[in-house]
A and B are shown apart, each in its own frame.
Chain A
Amino acid sequence: GAVVSQHPSWVICKSGTSVKIECRSLDFQATTMFWYRQFPKQSLMLMATSNEGSKATYEQGVEKDKFLINHASLTLSTLTVTSAHPEDSSFYICSANVNTGELFFGEGSRLTVL
């Protein structure tokens, strides 16, 4: 199947700093990618839909100025958590769909904000 890769898989940062997480489709082009957030023992919550060459579409309640999404190419979407705070600590997962509609997920990135 298609491969989606995230980097870094684990990051620790200080409160107030910004962190960038990359999501790459390795063997296919993805015009649309999705960013999810997973809290411990909770479901995956869709944060935003990332569209190549245009602005991301954010779900209700997600701060677009805090969670900056850029989808500059057909194989790369980035999520930047700006001015991170401890409550932003979470597991962030990206996914991309191939033209059959099937979704493939990255390995996830665990963010810890101190």
Chain B
Amino acid sequence: GDSVTQMEGPVTLSEEAFLTINCTYTATGYPSLFWYVQYPGEGLQLLLKATKADDKGSNKGFEATYRKETTSFHLEKGSVQVSDSAVYFCALSGSGYALNFGKGTSLLVTP
């Protein structure tokens, strides 16, 4: 079945460092891909998405490109801030509008 694998955390970076969180997927058909973020004490929020191959989703300085050839959707940000500390989930669309999630990657950015 469909599944998502993302790198395990926690990831600890200094402010202004470059961030990459790897995500690969297995799916039949052509799923849409998502990154969700969960800030401490809050619910999940959509960060960005891509609906077809070679699409690039971007938001708040984060980017991810839908790579069909490598079945990947890696999340990147050029310069992280302390406020980016959160748990990041990669996900793909399953049946209907339900999503299959990766295990989440915890990011801690230190001043």
A residues contacting B by CB (< 8 A) are 1, 4, 6, 32, 34, 36, 41-44, 46, 49, 93, 95, 97, 101-108
Contacts and interface: CB of A to CB of B under 8 A. Distances in A.
B73 interface: no
B98 A105 contact: no
18 contacts: A1-B46, A6-B43, A34-B98, A36-B101, A41-B103, A43-B89, A43-B101, A43-B102, A43-B103, A44-B89, A46-B98, A46-B99, A49-B98, A93-B43, A93-B44, A101-B97, A105-B43, A105-B44
Contact of A97 (B36, B42, B97): B97
A95 B43 CA distance: 10
Interface residues of B, number: 18
B45 interface: yes
Contact of B42 (A1, A46, A107): A107
Q: Which 10 A-B pairs have the closest CB atoms?
A: A105-B44, A107-B43, A97-B97, A43-B103, A44-B101, A43-B101, A105-B43, A46-B98, A34-B98, A106-B43
B103 A105 contact: no
Given A43-B89, A43-B103, A44-B89, A32 B44 contact: no
Contacts of A102: 46
A46 B43 contact: no
